[in-house]
Structure 1
Amino acid sequence: MKRHVAWAAMAVTFAASAAIAETAPMDVKFTDVGAVAESLTGQPGDAAKGAEVAATKSLGNCVACHKVSALDASFQGNVGPELNGAADRWDESQLRGIVVDAKHTFEGTVMPAMYKTGPFIRPGDGYTGKAAPADLPPILNARQVEDVVAFLMTLKEE
């Protein structure tokens, strides 16, 4: 009897984990305007955690390039557009696409793709011979992307 209960518990755990499987970086589907309609995790993000990712240098570090009044950061950049009111300018799927890889929305942007593993252009081999390896880990994981999107969705015009 104990063996059957253990097998049943394992089956439920496996089914639950399969139901909330993450979308791998190379499997993300963009619309023709750069939006990503489907959640990468199948679950809503946590806006408070997204704010932390956006303000933390070792994570997303969004404030290095963007001004975000809702964040208390010692330095806020002006390279990218202000994110104040982002939820009024873009919908959730558009924001997800921009965070995953902004180049699908804004050709020529300098914003790094936050959830991409390749392909990348690696000029280092031609100049120094020290280009990064072919596959790099994404800057953010799927959960962090969804958290940042949830945070951005809280940024309404004042």
Structure 2
Amino acid sequence: MKRQIIFGMVAAAFCAGAAMAETGPANVEYTDGAITQSLSGTPGNPEEGKVVFSTASLGNCVACHAAEITKDLPFPGDVGPALDGAADRWTEAELRGLVSNAKMTFEGTVMPAFYKSSGYIRPGNNYTGKAGTEPLAPILNAQQVEDVVAFLLTFKE
């Protein structure tokens, strides 16, 4: 019985720590556009990142960015910069910042903020009749951001 109680306490502490590991969009700390800490507390999976990168209903990064490593993906775009060598040009923290909110690094970019829930400039309800209220759900969740970053870290020259 004592062992079960101890095991339960350890499991509860572990779950509480895991739940606290995720950083919500409103609590992200940027340093010169970079995010040094993992958003999810779990390492990214490059294979899952490729799915997010190439899926229209998720990140759809391939709509704007091309790279040799993604040449097998349909419809690579050329609106954004080519990502060949991205892992050589930017650190993991910088890539995490760019995916989360590129405007923190490149003020005039048209790249959407994928991990942001407030602070949007919106036309308002008078224009569309459908304007959402903040906080809005981010486009990607914390783990999806980490997965895309892990995928981008495979983009070597």
Q: Tell me the equivalent position of 1:90.
A: 90
Structure 1 length normalisation: TM-score? 0.90
CA RMSD of aligned residues (A): 1.5
Which runs of structure 2 are paired with 1:20-39 in the superposition (5 Å)? 20=18, 21-31=21-31, 33-39=32-38
Larger displacement relative to structure 2 (91-100 or 60-69): 60-69
Q: Tell me the equivalent position of 1:103.
A: 103
Query: In the alignment, is residue 151 of structure 1 matched against residue 133 of structure 2?
Result: no
Q: Tell me the equivalent position of 1:57.
A: 56
Contact 1:44–1:146 at 8 Å: present in 2 too?
Answer: yes
**Identity rate, percent:** 56
The Cα shift of 1:42 comes to 2.1
Q: Secondary structure at the match of 2:40?
A: coil
Give deviations 1:78-103, integer Å, cap 9, x for gaps: 11111111011100000000011000
Which runs of structure 2 are paired with 1:127-146 in the superposition (5 Å)? 127-146=127-146
Q: In the comparison of the two structures, how many residue pairs are matched?
A: 154
Structure 2 length normalisation: TM-score? 0.90
Contact 1:35–1:94 at 8 Å: present in 2 too?
Answer: yes
Query: In the alignment, is residue 124 of structure 1 matched against residue 96 of structure 2?
Result: no
The Cα shift of 1:67 comes to 0.5
Q: Tell me the equivalent position of 1:48.
A: 47
Give deviations 1:90-135, integer Å, cap 9, x for gaps: 0000000001100000001111111111121111334233322222
Larger displacement relative to structure 2 (116-125 or 99-108): 116-125
Going from structure 1 to structure 2, the CA distance change for 1:126 and 1:18 (only over 3 Å counts) comes to same
Query: In the alignment, is residue 112 of structure 1 matched against residue 149 of structure 2?
Result: no
Equivalent residue for 2:8, pick from 7, 10, 17: 10
Going from structure 1 to structure 2, the CA distance change for 1:7 and 1:68 (only over 3 Å counts) comes to farther
Larger displacement relative to structure 2 (64-73 or 82-91): 64-73
Q: Which runs of 5+ in 2 are unaligned?
A: none
The Cα shift of 1:68 comes to 2.5
Q: Which runs of 5+ in 1 are unaligned?
A: none
Distance 2:55 2:8 in 1: 37
